Amino acid sequence: MDIQSRSSSATPTTVLDYAAAVQRVVGGQFTSRFSEDGQQAFASFYGAPFFALSRLAPEVIEALGANLLVISADPGIADDGGRWLSLYAKVHKPAQKFNLTVCVPGKPRAGKAPKPLLFQPPQQVLMKDWSKHLEALDESPDVLIYQPPSLEDLESAAGKFSRFSPGKKLLVSCNSLADVSIARSLLKLRGFEAGEVLAFQASQGDVQHHAPGAWWFSAMIPSLGDLKAPDDGIVDDLRMAHRVFIGHLGPVRNRAAWNSVAAVYATRSSPNVEGAAVCSVLTLPDGGICLDTGRFFSRSSASGDTEFHWEDAPAVSADLLASVPCEDSTRTPYEDRLALMLWLGRAVREGARDSSSSLLSEGSEIVGEAHDLELKGPSKLKSHDYVDEPCDPAQDANSNEAVTSVSSSEMPARPRLSRSAGTVNVLAFAAMLGEPGVSSAGSFESAKKDVLQWLSNKGFKSLDSVSNQHAEHADGEVTIETDGQGIWAMRFDDRKSMADGAIWRVEVTLLGVGASAISVRMAQVRSTEEAPPPVASGVPGVVSKVAQHIGLQDAGVALVDSAKRLRSANDGAWFSRLLLNPHRGQPVIVISGNVDASADRLAKRLVGVAHVLQVDKPISDGLIRNFGRDRSVFGNAVRLYRPGFTADADPFQHPLWVLKGPALPKWLADELFEHACSISLEIGDLEERAPSFHSIRNLLAEGRLATSEQRLVELRQEAESIASTAEEKIGRLQAINMELEASLLEQKARNKYLAEQLTQADQELQATKLERTSALEEVRRLKFKLSNQWNGVETGYSESEEQVEYPESWDDLETWVEVYGQERLVLHPKAAKAARESPFKDIPLAYKAMDYLVRYYIPMRTRSSDDTDAYQRSKQALAEIGLEESDVGTADEIKRYKKEYKRQYDGREVTLDRHLKRGVGFGGDFQFRMYFYYDDVAKKVLVGHMPTHLTNRLSHNG
């Protein structure tokens, strides 16, 4: 449909209406140069808030000075200083500015905006927590426009709205009908008075089933006293229903496919399945459930199949079928779909289908609201594998076909290692040395030898195991601290990747008092955010050496560098005990099905940080019997069991990925590594479990100081009790004095060290705060990534120096000169004042005249003596716009008038001795004059007066 051919509408009601209307407002004509998809995408994204206001809060549009707050998780809403919002607001208020404040979590795009957009007034953009902004206001905004990034955010926002803006109207936007139905229900449960659902259609009768700003409803915010505490069971049902819906969106990766899924999900239908019509609920465009028999049906659209066929998988249970909500004429279509969504959520929760069924589409992801679109596919990040023998990416599957189904809850949200600049903790673990059930005698010394041999391979060959040492060379630096008995600690900085912007830091601490133990920490010191990501690594190679030569154990279970195969009944019992062990500190990664050597490569990459197991079908069946299908792993899949797993644990705390193919793809190995490492940093008190090298150094220094003080006391007592002669006393006093001096030096060194530690701690605190802020922004970006698709739209818009806008009013005169003047055009304030006070009608001509001065007149004046082309281009340009250029005659010399031709410019007085003109005479709405001065030194033009005549002998006589 040709957008520009649509007739003008008083109040736009669709995306196409807004796309056409914005081209008719002053300053919006340039959007006509967008592609049709680009016009619709921008109108949908930036026009949506004003569509909602016009339909749900029209009183605000009519009111003068109304204050609005836009709360969005997508910084794009505030791109270019909020000028896009200003432009689309003109559809409703062409001559007035909306008083908008936009709160976004991160920095909006700061690219090159289209020049015509710069004429729009900027809005107030705040990169801060919107609740803190509301708290600081003396008076709440009249209307709040809220685009929640997730249901979790919406739930937490309800109390904040009631605290800071009771009695105000809230407009809530969601991407789909499923989203908006659940959001509306959640707010109603909290005591909000919610209105009906409103769709922002693409055109009349063409619904946007899934798009940013496509669905809206309004709600009155209750006071804190009227805020209700909802029933937890109902809220859990709504959350589950939403997760299942998002899971069906998971496999698709484009807006059109999301739109198709959202259009049919949880709708009643009567398709023909193998020749017979069946009453069903659709879950996908190509599949659904028969509501009479509980059987699943589907078709393969990829192979061009147009017929539905029954699946062989087990049907929905009779109990679930009995609870299917019946059609009810008293419910709205929206409410009926919500009831079906809740039923589908219960079906998944109760394990109605296994991973091979169609309840979850092939390739689907049951995820929380924080959906990560970068989950699948090979990583595009530059890799730097720290581990000495990393898994070979070339041997891993690295295509989307390798994993067609990922079922992973993100409650809590997917663990993520920081990508910010600064010191980033990557992993930390502690383990006992030795094999389970075997004495660990000698393990302490053996482990020291393994670590020193590893350092020797790094170029540090002269280190010993009994003294404090420091050594460095171009590729690294090593520091060793020990008490010479039962504590030995090492810190190694690997500088080989410094050129890429990161240093890898490994800290190993060995304890030999009592049972021998080891703790390992690894961090990445990142100089920039563009450094190789921390996930592009593995556990240091020394850990694998220790595991092979000496042995490592967690809660009495060996930590090995290969995937442990479980097959027998005894293995099944051992497996259950491991999962339920309350003292387990490492996650358990369980791989079922026929997976190749990539399982062993994953185990080697994660040795010490996680247990990696491979199980066969009998073990999987036992797991299902013991813990239920939704907490098990079966078929061809991978599951990560976090520490603290119980028989009744929330299954979505322990994510599941369903595989297709025999290999673990590189992206999934990275995902599992990031999960396991993040967990290793979260369990218990990190410093107590795996103390840092700084802590160990501090502990040893305190021990040395205590020993020195004890020795000082002993010497003093000996001097007082034994000395019998003055000479002996002097000698003893001298010994005490020397001991005191040594103690003083030790204390000074200790004080200096503590001062350095304090400074470093303060720096790390500041870096941590920056990392936390960055992480929060990153989480919000990921949560909104699913909905923010218009950014990928090809607008087809481009600008060149030849494209210049010629406004029809003087409103943006100074801005126009700044944008198009190329710093060669100066507009005198008297010229701007005269223009705005004149009756001149052909306003675009004045802009064309100034454009001529910049693009043709100045090049003509600065041309070389043998260059005739610039002169001819200038002459032709004047002819095309119908102007003449000449001097002002003698008017500037006549004493009575010459004052009018004088202007202050660059600290001096100059004369407007040239002008552009059209028409004869001295009046009329279309007669034009532009008086200017050319600065041949600065190569600039000063426009001193327009568009009327300055006084001369003829005009004065006239």
- pLDDT at residue 361 greater than cutoff 80: no
Lowest mean pLDDT among 14-28, 302-316, 357-371, 771-785: 357-371
Which residue, among 271, 432, 257, 243, has the nearest Cα to 347 in the 3D structure?
243
> 267 - beta bridge partners?
282
Please state the rounded mean pLDDT for residues 339-345. Answer: 91
Q: What is the pLDDT of residue 365?
A: 40
- Which segments within 195-303 are labelled E, that is strand? 198-199, 210-220, 267-269, 272-273, 276-277, 280-284, 287-290, 296-298
Q: What is the pLDDT of residue 253?
A: 57
Q: What is the pLDDT of residue 484?
A: 82
- pLDDT at residue 106 greater than cutoff 80: no
- pLDDT at residue 376 greater than cutoff 60: no
Q: Quote the tokens at residue 367.
A: 């995820």
The whole-angstrom separation of Cα 201 and Cα 213 is: 10
421 vs 239, higher pLDDT: 239
pLDDT, tens digit (0-9, with 9 covering 90-100), for 120-138 = 888 888 888 898 899 888 8
Q: What is the pLDDT of residue 773?
A: 57
pLDDT, tens digit (0-9, with 9 covering 90-100), for 11-35 = 899 999 999 999 998 888 888 888 8
The whole-angstrom separation of Cα 168 and Cα 221 is: 6
pLDDT, tens digit (0-9, with 9 covering 90-100), for 845-859 = 999 999 999 999 999
Sorting pLDDT into bands at 50, 70 and 90, what band is 958?
A: very low
Q: What is the pLDDT of residue 14?
A: 94
- pLDDT at residue 10 greater than cutoff 80: no
Sorting pLDDT into bands at 50, 70 and 90, what band is 766?
A: low
Q: What is the pLDDT of residue 422?
A: 80
Lowest mean pLDDT among 76-80, 509-513, 535-539, 711-715: 711-715
Please state the rounded mean pLDDT for residues 811-836. Answer: 90
Sorting pLDDT into bands at 50, 70 and 90, what band is 342?
A: very high
Contact 687, 695 (CB under 8 A): yes
Sorting pLDDT into bands at 50, 70 and 90, what band is 568?
A: confident
The whole-angstrom separation of Cα 71 and Cα 868 is: 58
Q: What is the pLDDT of residue 833?
A: 94
Please state the rounded mean pLDDT for residues 624-645. Answer: 89
Please state the rounded mean pLDDT for residues 709-735. Answer: 70
237 vs 748, higher pLDDT: 237
- pLDDT at residue 942 greater than cutoff 60: yes
Sorting pLDDT into bands at 50, 70 and 90, what band is 372?
A: very low
Q: What is the pLDDT of residue 2?
A: 42
Percent of the chain scored above 90 by pLDDT?
33
Provide the 3-class DSSP secondary structure of residue 52: helix
Provide the 3-class DSSP secondary structure of residue 390: coil
Q: What is the pLDDT of residue 665?
A: 85
- Ramachandran angles phi, psi of 199, nearest 5°: -100, 135
Which residue, among 500, 493, 495, has the nearest Cα to 532 in the 3D structure?
500
- pLDDT at residue 375 greater than cutoff 70: no
Please state the rounded mean pLDDT for residues 461-475. Answer: 87
Contact 698, 692 (CB under 8 A): no
Please state the rounded mean pLDDT for residues 174-179. Answer: 92
- pLDDT at residue 405 greater than cutoff 60: no
pTM: 0.55
Q: What is the pLDDT of residue 732?
A: 74
Q: What is the DSSP string of 698-746?
A: HHHHHHHHHHHHHHHHHHHHHHHHH--SHHHHHHHHHHHHHHHHHHHHH
> 505 - beta bridge partners?
493, 523
- Which segments within 527-665 are labelled E, that is strand? 552-554, 557-559, 564-566, 588-592, 611-615, 637-641, 656-658
- Ramachandran angles phi, psi of 468, nearest 5°: -75, 135
- pLDDT at residue 867 greater than cutoff 80: yes
Contact 946, 831 (CB under 8 A): yes
The whole-angstrom separation of Cα 419 and Cα 527 is: 11
- pLDDT at residue 482 greater than cutoff 70: yes
Sorting pLDDT into bands at 50, 70 and 90, what band is 605?
A: very high
- pLDDT at residue 419 greater than cutoff 80: no
Which DSSP letter does residue 366 get? -
pLDDT, tens digit (0-9, with 9 covering 90-100), for 873-911 = 999 999 999 999 999 877 656 666 778 899 999 989 999
Q: What is the pLDDT of residue 854?
A: 93
Q: What is the mean pLDDT of the chain?
A: 81
- pLDDT at residue 642 greater than cutoff 70: yes
pLDDT, tens digit (0-9, with 9 covering 90-100), for 181-213 = 999 999 999 999 999 999 999 999 899 999 889
The whole-angstrom separation of Cα 369 and Cα 411 is: 9
The whole-angstrom separation of Cα 58 and Cα 52 is: 9
Which residue, among 713, 687, 790, 829, has the nearest Cα to 254 in the 3D structure?
790
352 vs 128, higher pLDDT: 128
- pLDDT at residue 452 greater than cutoff 60: yes
The whole-angstrom separation of Cα 608 and Cα 447 is: 14
Which DSSP letter does residue 927 get? -
